[in-house]
Amino acid sequence: MGIKRIAKLANVSIGTVDRVLHKRSGVAKETEKRVLKIIEETGYVKNTSASRLKLASVKKIRMAVLIPRENNTQQWNYWRLPKEGILKAVEELSEMGVEVDFYSFLNSTSFAARGHEIFAEDYDALVTVPFFKKESNELQQLAKAKDIPVVFLDTEIALDGPANFIRQNSHNAGRVAGRLLHGLVGSEGDYFIVNIINDKGVHASGQQREDGFRAFFKSINQKVSIQSIQHAVDVAPVFVGEMIEKLKKDAPKGIFVTNSRAHLIPRLLMSHDVRNAFVVGFDLNERNLMCLQRDEIDFLINQKPDYQGYAAIKGLFNFLTKEDASALNLQIPVEIIVKENAPQF
């Protein structure tokens, strides 16, 4: 038994124990000490199910989720994945009285606007994405002032103060990519980094992945040729100038695409009649997986976006109900996918 046993041992009623546990007023200092001592000694832990059973109907836990709008123009919606993870977590926690509302943004302006709307309502927690540094810092400040926990997903970016992040270490992911490509290409080949620039907000992860990639080669003391290509989104990357020359050489080539569009590369390689090239990219979208099946992409790196969403909700729930903040900051492992361990769809 829980609170009842504590009450008996402390010679008080369960009401008083409850007051102590919730730090509410109306308890004499002496009594509080006595109760706290017994709570300590017995190692009492609150039964969250019982607590939520009562509160599920009276005091719901409301969370807001602010993520980019799903664009229907493209067949692959990255942001549907964290959403699915979130919905799975909410389903599991629905009998505990947990609800979420989804908000979406298109740019930094609407991000800030939705953020303020969210804080106008009284949510208990917020899950979002640190796409825009300035606006994310503002949001974090607002949340801190209102004592509302925020979890930032997906994007690797440094904010001013302390904050909760559930995401992959992009630098590390880049190093893994370096390891994988180097294994295939060796020290005698040419390396290319294809960095597709996003118009809406800097995708800082791209730069970090590139840094990590280069750091890997430093770590093994290999001086290889690594060339970066910046390219605008929504246009297939092109190889220009001396790159074409290098691509036409016999030496093996390694191409590291720092975002989810590695699937654009194989066609390009074929049009330049490049063979002996290896490709590593990010994210398990259909096109990438197709290329993997056709041996046109060699490795994909997954950042488990669905799990990120799932973990954020679960972590926030544990924080709000058990003041256990241990799951609010997670490093998502760098998952390596090849044809043989790829999920079938």
Piece of 101-109, 121-129, 142-150, 172-180 that binds a copy of itself (CB under 8 A): 172-180
Which residue type sits at 202? V
Q: How far apart are CA 312 and CA 329, in angstroms?
A: 9
Out of 8, 9, 23, 28, name the contact with DNA by CB under 7 A: 28
DSSP string, 259-285: SS-GGGHHHHHHHTT--SEEEEEE---
Q: How far apart are CA 309 and CA 301, in angstroms?
A: 18
Tell me, residue by residue from 10 to 49, as one string, x for binding to a copy of itself by CB under 8 A and - for no binding.
-------------------------------------xxx
Q: How far apart are CA 212 and CA 321, in angstroms?
A: 38
Interface residues for DNA in 178-237 (CB under 7 A)? none
Name the minimum Å distance from CB 199 to a copy of itself.
31
Question: HSE (CB half, 13 Å, CA atoms) of 85?
Answer: 19
Out of 95, 101, 117, 160, name the contact with a copy of itself by CB under 8 A: 95
Least Cα distance to 225 among 262, 266, 253, 250 occurs for 253
Out of 135, 190, 283, 298, name the contact with a copy of itself by CB under 8 A: 298
Determine how many CB atoms are found less than 10 A away from the CB of residue 294.
10
Out of 31, 107, 137, 318, name the contact with DNA by CB under 7 A: 31
Out of 50, 233, 238, 325, name the contact with a copy of itself by CB under 8 A: 50
Residue number with CB closer to a copy of itself (184 or 290): 184
Contacts with DNA by CB under 7 A lie at: 1-4, 11-16, 18-19, 21-22, 25-32, 46-47, 50-51, 53-59
